[in-house]
Structure 1
Amino acid sequence: MTSKWKDCFWGDIATLEYGKPLKDYKDKNGKYPVYGTNGQIGSHDEPLWNNPGIIIGRKGAYRGVHYSNKPFYVIDTAFYLKPKIKDLDLLFAYYELLTHNINSMDSGSAIPTTSRADFYSLPIILPPIKEQRSISHFLNQFEQEIQVNNQINKNLSN
């Protein structure tokens, strides 16, 4: 079986969209998670993005990569990834992005900021969609097993 993996850049396959300011998300019992630069920070009644997706921290000393398996809201300290191609498995993209040091993409301002231009120039070797799905399925199963083991360890230490 021959595989045709494609050498490209993140800017060829996706854009980073800015989050929007939002008030009253911390104490709300909304249906949709709200993400900032370091992960989920609250909830809201309306999503900004109506699909599962990837959130990438934009401002601050630590800027993480996060995945939401349902629609979500992103505040203005983070980006969300918008695919430009249909053959991009978002879970594969998430795991691939975890291999990069997002914090090294500073724009040079006093407040560390992820540069979209630097992000777009990151190389990626993109497998066909079927292989992306196989890889992401394997990694997701492995991650779930780690979470179960962590919970067992936590329960044993109590």
Structure 2
Amino acid sequence: MSLGDVADVFNGKTPAKSEQREAGHPVLKIRDVDDGGRFREKFGSFVDQDYASQFSKKQVLPGDTLILNAAHNADYVGSKSFFATEDVRGALATGEWLLVRPNHRRLDPGFAHYWLTSAAAQAAIRDQVKGIHLYPKDVARLNIPLPPLDEQRRLAAILDKADALRRKRKRALELLDGLTQSIFLEMFGDIACGGNSIKKKAEFNTHDWHEGIIGDQIVLQRGKDITKKEAIFGDVPVISSGGISFYHNEKIAPGPGVLLGRKGSVGNVHFTDTDFWPHDTTLYVKEFRGNLPEFVYCYFKRFPIENYEASAANPSLNRNNIHPVKTLWPKLNLQERFSSRLRKVWLGINNATAQLASSEALFASLQHRAFSGQL
């Protein structure tokens, strides 16, 4: 059965800038939905009611599935989707949204949404991208499995429960992520004013790769692996030294430390621990050492280094940028208390990450089985 036989598939309408207002009838833009497919609970643009009434069909209804249909890069087309709820009822969808509106007598909205976001349907949708656009007529031609309506509702209910579980775990992880800076502000909120702190120059080591020889096996931490995400221990490539020659001018001292992106992810920081990988780094990474690395990490998350050649073709940090860096180091007993609290949060983050991965795998499995007649 073609999707167009059981649903209307059409694009939204983007109002001209001259038609947009600071108040009035809400407009649903791409940025109003986060990457997890959740409404951000606030509209950023509006139009007059008279204008909106001219495009009543393009106003969102609960149960619609919205799909990103255009982007500057073809890889992003179709990458964001949104299952419309009562929160956005009546909002005018912009032209960057492709809307799928099920015929409720033949197609359950939840079933349609879960099918459209399944791996198989996503692959089929990507195959329909032309240039940097996804067109309604092409999506309407996609074949959708169509069991009886009662069976559609049963499958959607199962997927609802699995989806609710993964969303709950994702939310728990987001809250834990936010605790890092919350604890920092609670304990060192007055750090910029010098409370309980000693001002001194930040100590650091630099570690660059040159041609030479390394040991049997080593983990490489690249500049591009250091992101602004609240990731504590990230995946990095492991390479064998067989046939590969490197030489590093200085071995990094053992123990936990803080990596600072020099190029590619300029100024971003990442906490490393020898329990997870050896302390050798690639070019473009600097390692800072303070009294306790947990404090150094959170300090530079809160107060990132911005003194670099941002206007250059290839922005980068260098020794001259970093040498003048000064910070207010709290007394060691405060850093120890902070480190202890932070480590507990990080343990919770690791556990929550594992639980989220498990629930994501369960949902993907159920989704596959639901649309292959195995559930």
Normalised by the length of structure 2, the TM-score is 0.33
Q: Give the AA of the match of 1:5.
A: S
**1:21 to 2:21 alignment:** no
Equivalent of 1:64 in 261, 268, 284: 268
Compared with structure 1, are the counterparts of its residues 43 and 89 closer, same or farther at alpha carbon in structure 2 (3 Å cutoff)?
farther
Q: Tell me, yes or no, if structure 1 residue 6 matches structure 2 residue 198.
A: yes
Equivalent position of 2:347 in the other structure? 144
* Secondary structure of 2:308's aligned partner: coil
Cα-to-partner distance string for 1:101-148 (whole Å, 9 max, x where unaligned): 34x343243111024434344442211112111112211211221221
Query: Whole-Å Cα distance in 2 between the matches of residues 59 and 76 of structure 1?
Result: 9
Match of 1:37 among 206, 209, 223: 223
| Residues in 2 aligned to 1:24 and 1:154: alpha-carbon distance in whole angstroms | 38
Q: Does 1:94 align with 2:297?
A: yes
State the shift of 1:95 in Å. Answer: 2.1
Q: Does structure 2 retain, via aligned residues, the 8 Å contact 1:19–1:80?
A: no
Tell me the equivalent position of 2:285: 78
Of the two, which has the highest radius of gyration? Answer: 2
CA distance in 2, matches of 1:44, 1:100: 37
The number of residues matched between the two structures is 145
1:106 alignment counterpart: 308
2:336 to 120, 124, 133: 133
Runs of 4+ in 1 over 4 A off after TM superposition: 22-25, 43-47
State the shift of 1:44 in Å.
6.6
CA distance in structure 2 between the partners assigned to 1:105 and 1:29 by the alignment: 38
C-alpha distance in 1 between matches for 2:288 and 2:207: 9
- 1:50 aligned residue (225, 249, 253): 253
| Farther off after superposition, 92-101 or 42-51 | 42-51
Distance 1:100 1:41 in 2: 29
Using the alignment, how far apart are the partners of 2:334 and 2:240 within structure 1?
A: 35
% identical equivalent positions: 13
| 18 and 50 in structure 1: CA distance in 2 versus 1, 3 angstrom threshold | closer
Structure 2's unaligned 5+ residue stretches are 1-194, 226-235, 242-247, 362-375
**3-state secondary structure, aligned to 2:210:** coil
CA contact (8 A) 1:29 1:43 kept: no
> Scaled by the length of structure 1, what TM-score is found?
0.71
Task: Compare the two structures and name the one with the higher strand fraction.
Answer: 1
Specify every segment of 5 or more residues in structure 1 that has no aligned partner in the other structure, as ranges: none
Alpha-carbon distance, 1:19 to partner:
1.9
Q: Quote how far apart the aligned CAs of 1:29 are.
A: 7.1
Q: Which has the higher contact order (CA 8 A, sep 6+)?
A: 1
Distance 2:267 2:238 in 1: 17
How far apart are 1:23 and its partner, in Å?
Answer: 7.8
**Alignment CA distance shift 1:149-1:61 (3 Å):** closer
Secondary structure class of the residue paired with 2:339: helix
Q: 1:93 to 1:22 in 2, by over 3 A?
A: farther
Distance 1:13 1:123 in 2: 6
The question of whether the paired residues in 2 share the 8 Å contact of 1:95 and 1:136 is answered with: no
Query: Relative to structure 1, is the Cα distance of residues 24 and 153 closer, same or farther in structure 2, using a 3 angstrom cutoff?
Result: farther
